[in-house]
Structure 1
Amino acid sequence: MSDMSLWPPDWPRVHGGPLASGEFRMTPEDFIVEEVFDFAPEGQGEHLWLWIEKRDLTTPEAAKHVARVCGVRPRDVGYSGLKDRVAITRQWLSVHLPGRDAPDAFAVQLSDVGIVVLDAQRHPRKLKRGVHRTNRFTLRLSGEVASHPDLACRWRTLCTVGVPNYFGPQRFGREGRNLVLAQKAFTRGWRKRDDPHGMQLSAARSFLFNEVLAARLRAQTWRTPCPGDVLTLAGTASRFVADEIDAALHERAARGDVTPTGPMWGRGRLESVAEVAEEETRLAARHEALSLGLEAAGVRMDRRALCVPLDAPSLEHDAPDRVTLGFGLPRGAFATSVLRELMHHPLL
């Protein structure tokens, strides 16, 4: 970044600010997330897929435990999404076990480290990253926000218009540390061996995307197609450039059938055109060290929706100062970006 003393950035919210202070994820039981897939294991094949529930573990930590207990290399264990540590999460992991069964009592050994095996099925292929469709969240909030008189109204608005698809603060590290590391890496030349999981690249791309989304939110065009926008069709990976904007396209955007996108910066064609492309390029140039560093590292340009809908949302008051939210989000969207529209918290 050009000036890390400006961290945290002042990225706007839909309503201008949170309702009140509150707490979330005080215990793992306050933050429950479950992956949702469009398919199921076939019941035969070289890979054993494990439907697990983990508590107080990151996904890579859980994968390492599974590899150890099953006697395989860590790279022989696959998973679709990275899930938080302080949470209860349910997700599939795959283990490459050609021609043999899992060790006896492997489920008992995993339970000793906080992993419960809920199901086990065979499948021909390893589980790859990013193949689940959505994540289903059940979050418990407490404190002033839970009893705020406007909470239900604010929640209904988000259910109607959707949520800004910001990358959450966990992507950037404490006080933006991952961005500092990215800037240092780009100055000397990014090397994969120094950033094997791409954390620095991801933080830089996420920051630049959030900057574009913030500008569109300030202009009140984060849900509204503009000439030159790249629009994505709801529930698909299909995209098209909106050369002309008419009433029918505005109506489709209002229904959530199409959504404007912003750039995930990298090398290649921007896709957007006209004034939209000029603005996206201008915002990237404000943080030249990051944008040029991503290009030099060979990251490929991509797009991401500016707005995401809440799937099957619910709100229930468990007590005067406690509320439970339920909702689904597309893969890659952050539940913390939903919470920041409702409440003030140091981690939001």
Structure 2
Amino acid sequence: FCGLKDKQAVTTQWFSLPLPPKHPPHTDPDWFAALPNGVRVVRWAPHRKKIRRGIHQGNRFTLVIHGVTGEDAGFDHRLATLNQHGFPNYFAEQRFGHQGGNYNLLHKIAAIPAEQSASISRADRNWGLSTLRAELFNHCLSQRLAQRSDVLAQVGDLAQLAGSHSRFLVTVEELARTQTRLGEGDVALTGPLWGEGASPAGGDIGLNEAVIAHQIMAQLGRENTPTYWPQHLAAWRVEHDRRLLRAPLSDLQSTWLDVADGRQLQLSFTLDAGAYATALLRELIDLSPDSGKA
């Protein structure tokens, strides 16, 4: 399958499962009968290739928020702005495990000497790496937002072409043109998914990312030092990657419904693979437990 889905959601996605070579083409596979309650096959078809993680282009969401209280005259305007310019592409709380449990895994890994990196299970390594990189990215994104530079190109930025993963380093000569292309939606700025060695970004951008990486790896490292994490990254040959600072969305629709227990807000939209619907929600409504409102 392409990726994990929300535990509480009703989801539809493709899975790939082995099929005997001579299986009759119009006969349901035997494992249909073994599916658990609540799982239904909508459609199936033979295919030559197995689905790989992360190859899907995006996800379509329909969310219903119950018990909405309060009035917001600027809600529709904010909705239109997000639809046009996207939203901060934070890794949401799901990435960090139930009640932040993945941080415990990071400290567990950090307690293992770097020369014993090979002893860490693949599952722990993958979850640990994804949590570490997400934490680091979120801090870099928060800094850019605080500086109001998430949509302001700087020398040393790595910009990504819209609709592709092609990137280029922003130079002094290209700075003005890149800013124009940002406004046109032709390119977008990226933040770090940390790996082995120095950041591929340049100038002050690369330096700031390196400072944040050092701080985060120290906080989550062994005995409050960053030493082990860079060594683990090197031992596992983890390559640097990038993630958009702002997540684009499309097909955004909103509907207000008056029901017995108050108002409901229904939102429908499409996000690229890897973007979180809850990160969009935080830009629209207050879902904090102590707020007394949604």
Shorter-chain TM-score category? 0.7 to 0.9
Aligned partners of 2:109 and 2:120 also within 8 Å: no
* d(CA) in 2 for partners of 1:182, 1:216: 25
The answer to whether structure 1 residue 92 and structure 2 residue 29 are counterparts is: no
- 1:301 aligned to 240, 244, 252, which one? 240
Q: 2:204 aligns with which of 270, 275, 281?
A: 275
Distance of aligned partners of 1:145 and 1:105 in 2 relative to their CA distance in 1, 3 Å threshold: farther
1:135 correspondence with 2:59? yes
CA distance in 1, matches of 2:228, 2:95: 18
| Residue 295 to residue 98, structure 1, CA distance change in 2 (3 Å) | farther
Tell me, yes or no, if the aligned pair for 2:141 and 2:150 is still in contact at 8 Å.
yes
The 5 A counterparts of 1:72-83 are 79-83=1-5
Residue 114 of structure 1 deviates from its aligned partner by 1.2
Query: Match for residue 235 of structure 1?
Result: 163
Answering whether residue 189 of structure 2 is matched by residue 260 of structure 1, we say yes
1:335 to 277, 282, 285: 277
Q: Which amino acid counterpart does residue 325 of structure 1 have in structure 2?
A: L
Q: 1:158 & 1:185 partners in 2: Cα distance?
A: 38
Contact (CA 8 Å) 1:146, 1:323: kept in 2 or not?
A: no
More displaced stretch, 238-247 vs 192-201: 192-201
Report the CA distance between 1:104 and its aligned residue.
5.6
How big is the shift at 1:247? 3.4
**Could you list the per-position Cα deviations for residues 92-111 of structure 1 after superposition, in whole angstroms to 9, with x for gaps in the alignment?**
1001123143766643542x
Tell me which residue corresponds to 2:87: 163
1:293 CA displacement: 4.3
Question: Where do 1:217-228 residues align within 5 Å?
Answer: 217-228=145-156
The equivalent residue for 1:107 is 32
The 5-angstrom pairing of residues 9-88 of structure 1 reads 79-88=1-10
* Distance change (3 Å), C-alpha of 1:115 and 1:323: same
Task: Kindly provide the CA deviation profile for residues 132-156 of structure 1, in whole angstroms up to 9, marking residues without a partner as x.
Answer: 0011111111233585433222211
Partner Cα separation in structure 2 for residue 147 and residue 94 of structure 1:
46
Q: Deviations over 1:8-66 (max 9, x none)?
A: xxxxxxxxxxxxxxxxxxxxxxxxxxxxxxxxxxxxxxxxxxxxxxxxxxxxxxxxxxx
Alignment CA distance shift 1:117-1:175 (3 Å): closer
Do structure 1's residue 322 and structure 2's residue 264 form an aligned pair? yes
Deviations 1:189-248 (A, max 9, x none): 454327447212211110000000000000001122111001111110101100124433
In the aligned structure 1, how far is the partner of 2:30 from the partner of 2:104? Answer: 45
- Any stretches of 5+ residues in structure 1 without a counterpart? 1-78
Match of 1:201 in 2: 129
> Are residues 104 and 232 of structure 1, via their aligned partners in 2, closer, same or farther at CA, if it must alter by over 3 Å?
closer
* RMSD, aligned α-carbons: 2.3
2:106 corresponds to which residue? 182
Highest RCO, 1 vs 2 (Cα 8 Å, sep ≥ 6): 2
After TM superposition, the score normalised by the length of structure 2 is 0.84
- Between the aligned partners of 2:166 and 2:69, the Cα distance in structure 1 is 38
Q: Which residue of 2 aligns with 1:251?
A: 180
- In the alignment, the residues of structure 2 paired with residue 346 and residue 254 of structure 1 have an alpha-carbon distance, to the nearest angstrom, of 33
Contact 2:68-2:265 at 8 Å conserved across structures: no
Closer, same or farther in 2 for the Cα pair 1:97/1:238, shift >3 Å? Answer: same
Aligned to 1:117: 41
Q: TM-score, normalised by structure 1?
A: 0.71
Runs of 4+ residues over 6 Å off in structure 1: none
Work out the percentage of aligned pairs sharing the same amino acid. 34
SS in structure 2 of the partner of residue 343 of structure 1: coil
Task: Name structure 2 gaps, 5 residues minimum.
Answer: 221-225
Paired positions, count: 269
1:287 aligns with 2:216: yes
- More strand per residue: 1
Task: Note if contact 1:137-1:335 (Cα within 8 Å) is conserved in structure 2.
Answer: yes
Helix, strand or coil for the counterpart of 2:15? strand
Tell me, yes or no, if the aligned pair for 2:156 and 2:202 is still in contact at 8 Å: yes
8 Å CA contact 2:200, 2:240 repeated in 1: no
> 1:196 and 1:123, CA in 2 relative to 1: closer, same or farther beyond 3 A?
farther
